[in-house]
Amino acid sequence: MYRKIGFAIALAVALIAPFVGYPVFLMKLLCFGLFACAFNLLIGYTGLLSFGHAAFFGAAGYFTGYALTTLGLPTELGILVGVVVAALIGLVMGWLAIRRQGIYFTMITLALAQMVYFGMLRAPFTHGEDGLQGIPRGKLLGMVDLANDTTMYYVVLAIAIAGFALIVRIVHSPFGQVLKAIKENEPRAISLGYDVDRYKLTAFVLSAALAGLAGSTKAVVLGFETLTDVHWSMSGLVVLMTLVGGMGTLVGPILGAFIIIALENKLGDVGNFIARTTGLEWFTTLGESVGMVTGLIFIVCVLLFRRGIVGEIGAAIAAATRRKRAA
């Protein structure tokens, strides 16, 4: 019951948000929230630490941009192209990587993602270090003009909700239960007759496709795509988002993404405000120290919130409930 109330409140806040905040920034938060949830589907529920999710996120953005700018496809088909490309890259990368476990799996995904990075760097349609510029938003279904930020926000919100609902459905399905069993005890899952590699590969492709959906949507929202999204540091950023929010929880990665992206975009403004208020000019340099601040947050979460923010809150509520029942 409390969970349903929480989701209802979150939906109500999301619906009125563009009238209070900057719609483009809010859309960016939604895209990264979906990206973090896609990554969490793999690490939080399957136990596979991929360090190559930037390949899906960035490649989808590039191919969506190419489909919209050069091929002239409608917006919805352009996004679909990005999702399909991300799923295909995930299929190849997953097929090669799931044969290994632990750090070897992680390093293989990183190496393959770097190959995708250099491919995007050299491909003629990506324009190299200049990036892909002028990606049009177009019209949804040929009728709804997406040039308006508020209209675009509600489209992005619908995409994010649909992606999140799909993840929830996957996690609570029999397929999701097998993924959890693989994470907890893979030899036991094998002894029960499950084709573990097939389940891992399916989860990998689903995670890649959802990450591609987030990357494609972000490219349409911002109107450009750069190498930053396909660089290995983006893979590290999504790991940070997931761990800060709460790995293996449904809403934790969303919260983690909101915190990290808000810090990246607003830390400089906060520093300038503190400097004007207190007269301490050195606070103006906070905007140049985003990496240090996010690193400090990560250290604090590792030391004090081992399950992430949402994970620790959930554990505290569960402990209080058990004490109440025992009393």
HSE value, Cβ hemisphere, 13 Å, CA-based, for 237: 23
Does residue 53 contact residue 230 with C-beta atoms inside 8 Å?
A: no
pTM: 0.89
- Domain with 34, as residue range(s), is 21-326
Does residue 138 contact residue 73 with C-beta atoms inside 8 Å?
A: no
| Element at 148 (helix H, strand E) | none
Which of left, alpha, beta for 74 (phi over 0: left; psi -120 to 50: alpha)? Answer: beta
Does residue 51 contact residue 242 with C-beta atoms inside 8 Å?
A: no
Across 175-191, average pLDDT: 89
Q: What whole-number distance in Å separates Cα of residue 61 and Cα of residue 81?
A: 10
pLDDT at 277: 63
- Both structure tokens of 25: 């920034």
State the virtual CA torsion across 120, 123, 125, 127 in degrees, nearest 10. 70
Q: How far does Cα 95 stand from its chain's mean position?
A: 22
The answer as to whether 4 is a domain residue is no
The answer as to whether 5 is a domain residue is no
Does residue 116 contact residue 55 with C-beta atoms inside 8 Å?
A: yes
The answer as to whether 231 is a domain residue is yes
| Element at 177 (helix H, strand E) | helix 174-184
The answer to which of 2-6, 30-34, 105-109, 319-323 has the lowest mean pLDDT is: 2-6
Burial class (CB in 10 A: 0-12, 13-18, 19+), 33: buried
Q: Is the pLDDT of residue 151 over 60?
A: yes
Q: What whole-number distance in Å separates Cα of residue 270 and Cα of residue 114?
A: 35
The answer as to whether 16 is a domain residue is no
Highest mean pLDDT among 86-95, 140-149, 288-297, 313-322: 86-95
Confidence grade of residue 203 (pLDDT, cut at 50, 70, 90): very high
pLDDT at 187: 87
The answer as to whether 2 is a domain residue is no
Q: Is the pLDDT of residue 270 over 60?
A: no
The answer as to whether 7 is a domain residue is no
Does residue 272 contact residue 92 with C-beta atoms inside 8 Å?
A: no
Which residue would you say has higher pLDDT here, 312 or 283? 312
Does residue 253 contact residue 34 with C-beta atoms inside 8 Å?
A: no
CA of 131: how far to CAs of 225, 229, 232, 246, in Å?
6, 10, 17, 33
pLDDT at 3: 67
The answer as to whether 48 is a domain residue is yes
Across 200-219, average pLDDT: 94
Q: What whole-number distance in Å separates Cα of residue 174 and Cα of residue 114?
A: 34
DSSP 8-state assignment for residue 160: H
Crossing angle of the two packed helices 2-16 and 149-171, in degrees rounded to 10: 160
Which residue would you say has higher pLDDT here, 265 or 80? 80
Task: Phi first, then psi: give them for residue 73, nearest 5 degrees.
Answer: -75, 155
The CATH number for 309's domain is 1.10.3470
The answer as to whether 8 is a domain residue is no
Q: What whole-number distance in Å separates Cα of residue 88 and Cα of residue 63?
A: 12
The count of other CB atoms within 10 Å of the CB of residue 198 is 10
Which of left, alpha, beta for 134 (phi over 0: left; psi -120 to 50: alpha)? Answer: left
- Both structure tokens of 127: 């324009």
Task: Choose among 250, 248, 266, 263: nearest CA to 298.
Answer: 263
pLDDT digits (tens, 9 = 90+) for 14-63: 888 888 878 888 999 999 999 999 999 999 898 888 888 999 999 999 99
pLDDT at 266: 67
What total number of domains does the chain contain?
1
